[in-house]
Amino acid sequence: MSDDSRGVTITPGDERYPGLVEGYNHRFTGRPDYVRLVRTTAEVAAALQEAADAGLRPAVRSGGHCFEDFTSSPGIRVLIDLSPMSAVSYDEDMGAFAIEGGATLDHVYRELFDGWGVTIPGGTCFEVGVGGHIAGGGYGHLSRRDGLVVDHLYAVEVVAVDASGHVRTVVATRQSDDPHHDLWWAHTGGGGGNFGVVTRYWLRSPGGVPAAPEQALPRAPRRIRRADVTWSWDGLDEKSFTRILAGYTAWHEQNSAPDSEGRHIWGNLIVLHRSAGVFFLNTVIDEDVPGAAELMAGHLAAITSATGVQPLSVEEQVVSWMDTWMPSYSWPSDPRGRYKNKAGYLRRGFTEHQLAAVYRHLSDPGYDNPMACLVLTGFGGQVNAVAPDATAVPQRDSILKASYSAGAWTDPADDGKHTAWVRAFYRDVYAETGGVPRPDDVNDGSYISYPDVDLADPAWNTSDAGWQTLYYKANYPRLQQVKKTYDPRNVFRHGLSIELPS
Ligand SMILES: Cc1cc2nc3c(=O)[nH]c(=O)nc-3n(C[C@H](O)[C@H](O)[C@H](O)COP(=O)(O)OP(=O)(O)OC[C@H]3O[C@@H](n4cnc5c(N)ncnc54)[C@H](O)[C@@H]3O)c2cc1C
């Protein structure tokens, strides 16, 4: 090990190496020549220059939560790991919160809450890193109320490699007269690993410079009312199952306008495979919203009473947002797990054909995996108050995100069985649109932070929409121009990275 101005170097013989080249998805393990743990922007620049001079392909990692192999594919020779860069502070000069690129969401939520009582509408998994999360758009519990994280992104610091192979550090803001404005825009949903290394994000809500830090970002809830509904698969037939899903999606169709009162309610319908025996709805509302209890009651009634199916249990309680709800919330996962995830946006409820496919695969008696699931996450509300081209996230009139997961399993010998199940599930749900959520009146493509390389594979995507359209729609050409300006050598690339314009 050596420790110098380029950061801490960790090579394959070091006992820390295995932990640094493995991420959340244990299907992928990197084999870089070395990992460089960096602590400052200057160290990132030095590490990147050294890699560029030696002709070694780098990749950057923050929280390690990528679904695909973007930081661990075989060609990567240098892994720049930002996890030591996790500071959260208020930057008076910028009038915005400065968050270093290696911070994890739990650290960010805790620092913002304890210091100023504010928060960002970010993801539900605490270990996710802001490095990849914010660049991809970022959404979570509060997005229906507050939009995407990138709707609050004011500036970004990026270390990139220019056409002559020299490293440069650029700060890009959302100010329309900023010469680097387009680089800021590309980080509002273009996705991680495309343009350079993000060393710092500055966050503040739209509008002018806030009078005080407490006004720079949304107020964090203090107490939330949570309702947890459990259904048993026992006794459910296709008709009753379908009515539960249709009730849930219908509520979102009716309550996802930007200013709808329902924007205060967020939920995850976690429909586990039948082998789990049960499945769940977890839903929350800020208890300080006027009429919170009534709003929650109406929400639950819309989903449960219209279905004619009695849930196994409905539990409601008021708990602390920061100390109880946030740390306890996660979806099915295993720290040793291997995963294959797929996703799609919904503009309205599933079609009859889609519902039948959902039922068929989730009740498939030939497949036994109690963690396999479809998760329908509440979306829309204030997310839909933003124009499709204002940020790089074009999906601005959806009501739900659908996530399809075969995780988690631990034995590599089972990779084929589980990936085959989730691929067939997804292909059948989207059979009417070429096996993918091709944009139409129901579907609206997918989310780059839930990357799925199958969308670039003609064996799985038989539609006339390429992966570029599914993720970025009309925003793709502008992202390519940013790529050409800031990463003309295509140093930062992966299985779904922005291509240089032809
Ligand atoms: C269990 C789980 C739950 C999730 N929940 C949510 C959720 O609720 N909401 C949501 O929006 N997303 C969610 N995600 C998706 C998550 O936002 C993405 O996986 C995100 O890319 C993870 O970022 P990371 O830094 O942890 O990952 P990494 O694996 O470190 O990086 C992911 C990608 O971003 C790039 N990258 C990382 N850091 C930087 C950087 N500093 N500069 C430039 N590029 C960088 C990497 O090169 C790679 O291409 C979840 C993912 C998982 C696994």
Q: What is the mean pLDDT of residues 495-500?
A: 98
pLDDT at 42: 97
Name which residue sits closest to atom 39 of ligand 1, judged by CA.
131
For ligand 1, the distance from its centroid to the CA atom of residue 423, given in whole angstroms, is 22
Q: What is the mean pLDDT of residues 462-470?
A: 98
pLDDT at 407: 79
Q: CA-to-CA distance for 225 and 293, rounded, in angstroms?
A: 8
If one counts every other C-beta atom within 10 angstroms of the C-beta of residue 440, the result is 12
pLDDT at 212: 97
For ligand 1, the distance from its centroid to the CA atom of residue 15, given in whole angstroms, is 25
Q: Which two tokens stand for residue 112?
A: 């913002």
Name which residue sits closest to atom 9 of ligand 1, judged by CA.
123
Residue 198 CA, closest ligand 1 atom number: 42
pLDDT category, 4, cuts 50, 70, 90? low
Task: For the chain, state the CA radius of gyration.
Answer: 22
For ligand 1, the distance from its centroid to the CA atom of residue 246, given in whole angstroms, is 31
Q: CA-to-CA distance for 140 and 122, rounded, in angstroms?
A: 5
pLDDT at 1: 45
**Cβ atoms of residues 56 and 34 within 8 Å:** no
If one counts every other C-beta atom within 10 angstroms of the C-beta of residue 258, the result is 15
**Distance from the Cα of residue 167 to its chain's centroid:** 29
Query: Mapping DSSP to helix (H, G, I), strand (E, B) and coil, where does residue 131 land?
Result: helix
Amino acid identity for residue 439 in this structure:
P
DSSP symbol at 323? I
pLDDT at 331: 66
Pocket test for ligand 1, best of 167, 400, 449, 492 (most atoms within 8 A of CB): 449
- Predicted confidence (pLDDT) at residue 159 exceeds the cutoff of 60: yes
Q: What is the mean pLDDT of residues 310-320?
A: 95
DSSP symbol at 363? T
Q: Which two tokens stand for residue 437?
A: 């959520």
pLDDT at 177: 97
Name which residue sits closest to atom 17 of ligand 1, judged by CA.
133
- Predicted confidence (pLDDT) at residue 459 exceeds the cutoff of 90: yes
Q: What is the mean pLDDT of residues 362-372?
A: 96
Name which residue sits closest to atom 51 of ligand 1, judged by CA.
65
Q: What angle do CA 206, 209, 212 make, to 5 degrees?
A: 110
Pocket test for ligand 1, best of 71, 133, 383, 493 (most atoms within 8 A of CB): 133
For ligand 1, the distance from its centroid to the CA atom of residue 129, given in whole angstroms, is 6
Q: What is the mean pLDDT of residues 413-422?
A: 97
DSSP symbol at 165? S
Pocket test for ligand 1, best of 40, 43, 61 (most atoms within 8 A of CB): 61
Each residue's pLDDT tens digit, 67-117 = 999 999 999 999 999 999 999 999 999 999 999 999 999 999 999 999 999
Pocket test for ligand 1, best of 62, 333, 491 (most atoms within 8 A of CB): 62
Contacts of 492 (CB under 8 A, 6+ apart): 58, 59, 60, 193, 194, 195, 196
- CATH 3.50.50.60 corresponds to the domain 223-473: no
* Strand residues in 215-277 grouped as ranges (E): 223-232, 265-272
N-terminal to C-terminal alpha carbon distance within the chain:
42
pLDDT category, 305, cuts 50, 70, 90? confident
For ligand 1, the distance from its centroid to the CA atom of residue 372, given in whole angstroms, is 21
Ligand 1 neighbours, Cβ below 6 Å, are: 23-24, 59-67, 70-71, 82, 101, 123-125, 128-129, 131-133, 135-136, 138-140, 192-193, 197-198, 333, 449, 494
For ligand 1, the distance from its centroid to the CA atom of residue 401, given in whole angstroms, is 17
Q: CA-to-CA distance for 41 and 43, rounded, in angstroms?
A: 5
Three-class HEC string of 414-443 = HHHHHHHHHHHHHHHHCHHHCCCCCCCCCE
Residue in 73, 91, 80, 42 with CA at minimum distance from that of residue 58: 80
- Predicted confidence (pLDDT) at residue 2 exceeds the cutoff of 60: no
Name which residue sits closest to atom 1 of ligand 1, judged by CA.
125
Q: Where do the domains of the chain lie?
A: 2-81, 88-219, 223-473
- Predicted confidence (pLDDT) at residue 232 exceeds the cutoff of 50: yes
Residue 497 CA, closest ligand 1 atom number: 49
pLDDT category, 329, cuts 50, 70, 90? confident
Q: What is the mean pLDDT of residues 139-160?
A: 98
- Predicted confidence (pLDDT) at residue 230 exceeds the cutoff of 90: yes
Q: What is the mean pLDDT of residues 49-59?
A: 97
Contacts of 209 (CB under 8 A, 6+ apart): 95
Residue in 191, 217, 153, 142 with CA at minimum distance from that of residue 377: 142
If one counts every other C-beta atom within 10 angstroms of the C-beta of residue 317, the result is 11
Q: What is the mean pLDDT of residues 121-126?
A: 93
pLDDT at 309: 84
Using the Cα atoms of residue 158, residue 25, residue 87 and residue 325 in order, give the sign of their dihedral: positive
Q: Which CATH architecture has domain 88-219?
A: 2-Layer Sandwich (3.30)
Q: CA-to-CA distance for 479 and 193, rounded, in angstroms?
A: 13
Mean of the per-residue pLDDT values for the chain?
A: 96
Each residue's pLDDT tens digit, 161-210 = 999 999 999 999 999 999 999 999 999 999 999 999 999 999 999 998 99
Q: What is the mean pLDDT of residues 210-233?
A: 97
Q: Which CATH architecture has domain 2-81?
A: 2-Layer Sandwich (3.30)
Higher-confidence position of 241 and 336: 241
- Predicted confidence (pLDDT) at residue 3 exceeds the cutoff of 70: no
Dmax over CA atoms of the chain, in Å, equals 67
For ligand 1, the distance from its centroid to the CA atom of residue 299, given in whole angstroms, is 31
Q: What is the mean pLDDT of residues 308-314?
A: 90
Name which residue sits closest to atom 26 of ligand 1, judged by CA.
63
Name which residue sits closest to atom 15 of ligand 1, judged by CA.
449
Quickly list H helices, 208-320. 238-254, 292-304
Q: Indicate the pairing of strand 223-232 with strand 278-286.
A: antiparallel
Identify the burial level of 235 via C-beta atoms within 10 angstroms of its C-beta, where 0-12 means exposed, 13-18 middle and 19 or more buried: exposed
